């Protein structure tokens, strides 16, 4: 079977396994005791990786996320296989101290890999934040960001159910409602509409903007079919629970003057609660001087999707401070900014993992100041 038939993720997994098996076959399932054996194992492993990467790239094209995916598999598959073989050999020889070290490290890495791949990406949480504003009555805002999936399953339905259980007055969706090929999304279009309509039927208002992965089919058409407000480059005024609200939304990339005009309109002072929805949190740096904005709601970062204990997310793909990009409510340039860690994960060639950053839906309780 060719690597084209296997698919990118499976091909990378096979490569990670072969990168462990070849060195083991050449030097034996034993810890190398000579420099020559260590060199032979390293060289053979590198050759397998280089050749395999070239072959897979010829069929699929390995971009940045593909390389990250391969590195992840090397860490959680290749290394445990090699250490596991040393563990089994040491057990046979009765080398208790050595086999304990190898076995413990191999087991720890493998368990972390299984957890990050199969447990945490489905371990949903509800993030709750409180914001004080100059309003006469409390308002509860629900946030659903980055479903980022080619089809709707139990995880996505659970996210919507958990959000609705908190009875939000309005729901804001800062993009990446889906991710996949146009064919996948058209085949599952009805499910995306139905899930969005479930929010519409159970709250007073649902508003959505496009993200980075929503371009393959028309999000505006899906929003219209579900009865949600599509607010790309739009400013709206309305009341919820007697609270005047000014709601603005901007698309990810400007392809005309509308985005700039929308942001410029936020410089107008208002007595209403002023909300801005943007997929990327970097919009906070694009606000005009003196902008009257009580809250920006965004997604995009996934909280880094991987967060190292006592350090935080190494990569967030945004210019906002890392502690803000990690998720939750914070202040940037004295503007309240809420960043959702999202419901889904980066897909396509990326490693589909979460570690230290659980998927979430958000609840923001806006209280009278």
Considering only CA atoms, which of 147, 217, 211, 157 is closest in space to residue 181? 217
Rg, the chain, Cα only: 24
On whether the pTM is more than 0.85, the answer is yes
Tens of pLDDT, residues 272-326? 999 999 999 999 999 999 999 999 999 999 999 999 998 999 989 999 999 999 9
- Which of 92-106, 111-125, 227-241 has the least mean pLDDT? 92-106
Q: Which class is 125-368 in CATH?
A: alpha beta
Model confidence at 242: pLDDT above 70: yes
Model confidence at 145: pLDDT above 80: yes
Query: 28-34: long-range contacts (C-beta < 8 A, 24 or more apart)?
Result: 28/89, 29/85, 29/86, 29/88, 29/89, 30/86, 30/89, 31/86, 31/89, 31/90, 31/98, 31/102
Model confidence at 360: pLDDT above 50: yes
């Amino acid at each position: 079977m060719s690597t084209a038939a296997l698919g990118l993720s499976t091909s990378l997994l096979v490569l990670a396994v072969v990168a462990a098996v070849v060195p083991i076959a050449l030097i034996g399932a034993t810890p190398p005791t000579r420099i020559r054996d260590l060199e032979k194992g390293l060289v053979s492993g590198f050759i397998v990786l280089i050749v395999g990467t070239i072959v897979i790239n010829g069929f699929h094209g390995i971009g940045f996320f593909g390389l990250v995916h391969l590195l992840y598999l090397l860490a959680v598959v290749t290394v445990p296989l090699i250490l596991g073989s040393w563990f089994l050999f040491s057990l046979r020889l009765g080398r208790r101290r050595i086999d304990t070290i190898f076995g413990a490290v191999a087991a720890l890495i493998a368990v972390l890999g299984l957890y990050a791949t199969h447990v945490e990406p489905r371990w949903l949480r509800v993030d709750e934040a409180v914001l004080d504003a100059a309003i006469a009555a409390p308002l509860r805002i629900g946030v659903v960001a980055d479903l980022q999936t080619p089809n709707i399953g139990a995880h996505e339905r659970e996210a919507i159910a958990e959000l609705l259980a908190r009875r939000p007055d309005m729901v804001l969706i800062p993009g990446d409602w889906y991710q996949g090929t146009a064919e996948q999304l058209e085949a599952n279009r009805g499910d995306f509409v139905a899930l969005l309509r479930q929010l519409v039927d159970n709250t007073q208002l649902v508003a959505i903007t496009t993200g980075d992965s929503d371009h393959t089919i028309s999000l505006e058409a899906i929003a219209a079919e579900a009865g949600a407000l599509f607010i790309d480059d739009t400013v709206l005024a309305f009341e919820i629970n007697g609270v005047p609200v000014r709601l603005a939304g901007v698309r990810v990339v400007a392809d005309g003057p509308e985005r700039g005009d929308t942001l410029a309109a936020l410089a107008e002072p208002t007595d209403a609660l002023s909300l801005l929805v943007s997929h990327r949190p970097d919009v906070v740096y694009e606000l005009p001087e003196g902008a009257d904005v009580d809250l920006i709601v965004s997604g995009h970062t996934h909280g880094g999707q991987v967060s190292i204990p006592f350090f935080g997310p190494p990569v967030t793909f945004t210019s906002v401070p890392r502690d803000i990009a990690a998720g939750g409510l914070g202040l940037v340039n004295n503007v309240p900014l809420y960043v959702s860690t999202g419901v889904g994960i980066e897909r396509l060639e990326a490693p589909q993992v979460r570690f230290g950053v659980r998927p979430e839906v958000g609840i923001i309780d806006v209280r009278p100041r």
